[in-house]
Amino acid sequence: MALSEKYLITVIGPTAIGKTALAIEIAKHFKCDIISADSRQFFKEMTIGTAAPSKEELKAAPHHFIQNISIFEEYSVGDFERDAIAMLDRLYKKDDVAVMVGGSGLYIDAVLKGLDNFPDIEPAIRQQLIKEYETKGIAYLQDELQRLDPQHYNKVAKENPQRLMRALEVCIGTGKPYSSFLNSKKSNRNFTSILIGLNAERELMYGRINQRVNLMVQSGLVEEARNLHKYKTLNALQTVGYRELFSYFDGEISLDFAIEEIKKNTRRFAKRQITWFKRAENATWFDFEAPPQEIINYIEQQIHANS
């Protein structure tokens, strides 16, 4: 029976919590497609280090935005918003339900609510910031953002130079705080959102992260990163799992230390994800070990209550 509305079921939560497996079960139940909102899994050259879905998982349900572009292509959150909304428009012509899954909070928000409107910034400002970063390090970017926009400084991922430079270029280019452009205008969407969160006790989550990193190393992460080392300055590769191994290849740290750093930085990343997702309105949270059918039953109840 066709539903009177279209639904986007979005699965959120920290890395290594089991989002992909749950999304596949939901998609199989509703016989629908999955949109990936994991900004690291867009890139075809980055498979092991991004924990991209396996061939078996990709066969279990149709996926979109998995390894669909190259690390040599520029692809912004705005590009993803445009492409994902266009994909949903196509999917809703044949299905009433679609699933979105991922750990990139900004990309999920872009699809669910639309992006904030930022003015165009002179490219020379970003180039100057890159030079400052290369000569003075990330502490310079952090100090500058704290000075120019303390409100955003308290929220931003302070170890992510790309996020810091993005905020700084807006501050410098407009003379206004980056935070003043946030939450300005949101887009209307033609679907009803059902937001499902997965969580776990912190120690359990950290154990899963450590285990996943060990599996990545066993699966060939070091070799994958070595093949990408010569491209280490590309934006796509400024991410956990690759940066640490690039430092190993450059002779700065040992391999064992690099692997421990990957685990530590992934745990920090998971903490930031939790902070971001806990702000999500109307999210219903389930323990990561909850049976998928229990979550599917809840989704069915929400859809029927709205019909």
Q: Please, how many CA atoms are within 13 Å of residue 276, restricted to the half-sphere of its CB? A: 20
| 19 marked as binding residue | yes
| 13 marked as binding residue | yes
| 161 marked as binding residue | no
| 31 marked as binding residue | no
Q: How far lies 124's CA from each of 9, 121, 190, 285, in Å?
A: 41, 9, 38, 44
| 16 marked as binding residue | yes
| 17 marked as binding residue | yes
3-state secondary structure string, 192-208?
Answer: EEEEEEEECCHHHHHHH
Residue 34: helix, strand or coil by DSSP? strand
**3 within 8 A of 96, measured Cβ to Cβ:** yes
* Calpha distance 86→33 (Å, rounded): 14
| 60 marked as binding residue | no
The angle, 0 to 180 degrees and rounded to 10, between the axes of the packed helices 161-174 and 138-148 is 40
| 15 marked as binding residue | yes
* Calpha distance 187→111 (Å, rounded): 9
Indicate the annotated binding residues for substrate: 15-20
Indicate the annotated binding residues: 13-20
Indicate the annotated binding residues for ATP: 13-20
